[in-house]
Amino acid sequence: MIVGFGTGRCGTVSLSEWLDTWHEHKTTGDNLYFSELDDHAKTKWLANNAEKTHKFEKTYGDISLDHINSLDYWLSQKRVTLICLMRDRDEFVHSLANYRTNRIWKRLFPQFDFDTEEGIGEFWDWYYDTILEHEDKFIIISPDQLPLTKNEGKWRRNQKT
């Protein structure tokens, strides 16, 4: 199983869509509020989704900004590959500050002020400091490192790779 992490507004949807181009792979994304489940419910959720997808696919993934809130759970899982997308801090802050809504971030991370660029930056710092404490467990990539990007509905080679 592939589990993707990212702050949102960082390419997680593109990563999910790109992984789905792989033969016999299915990725879901933004299963928000996963962290609100207890460990038993998380394990049951994983088993149910793995069972459903393995009927049709050989590998399965899930990508969500909420997975950071269950980091200890994910680190304890066997046979899980952890990927983290790390967008440039200033690009992320600008993107989220101009995004039409940030209520998802406010609900999942109430300790941060998402109405200010300073608060958004503090969230970015916390998120990636937390990931980097376990850097040896992750594949960490920037959105520019994705080998393909979706442009006008078509996958194209990423010119920045």
Question: Has residue 133 been placed in a domain?
Answer: yes
For 8, other C-beta atoms within 10 Å of its C-beta total 24
Look at residue 101 and tell me if it is in a domain: yes
* Cα–Cα nearest to 50, from 90, 77, 70, 75: 77
| Strands of 15-153, DSSP E | 25-29, 59-63, 81-85, 138-141, 148-151
Can you tell me the mean pLDDT for 127-131?
97
pLDDT at 150 exceeding the cut of 60 = no
In a domain, 61, yes or no: yes
Q: How far is CA 54 from CA 5, 47, 59, in A?
A: 22, 10, 7
Domain-embedded: residue 117: yes
Instruction: Answer whether residue 7 is part of any domain.
Output: yes
Per-residue pLDDT tens for 3-36?
A: 889 998 887 777 877 777 776 666 766 555 667 7
For 28, the domain range is: 2-155
Asked if residue 115 is part of any domain, the answer here is yes
Query: Which CATH number belongs to the domain containing residue 7 in this structure?
Result: 3.40.50.300
Domain count, the chain: 1
Q: Compute the distance between CA of residue 139 and CA of residue 150 in angstroms, rounded to an integer.
A: 21
Q: What is the pLDDT of residues 60-109, one digit of tens each?
A: 777 888 889 889 988 988 888 999 999 999 999 999 999 877 788 888 89
Instruction: Record the pTM.
Output: 0.79
pLDDT for 160 beyond 50: no
Residue 150 burial by CB count (10 A; 0-12/13-18/19+): exposed, middle or buried?
middle
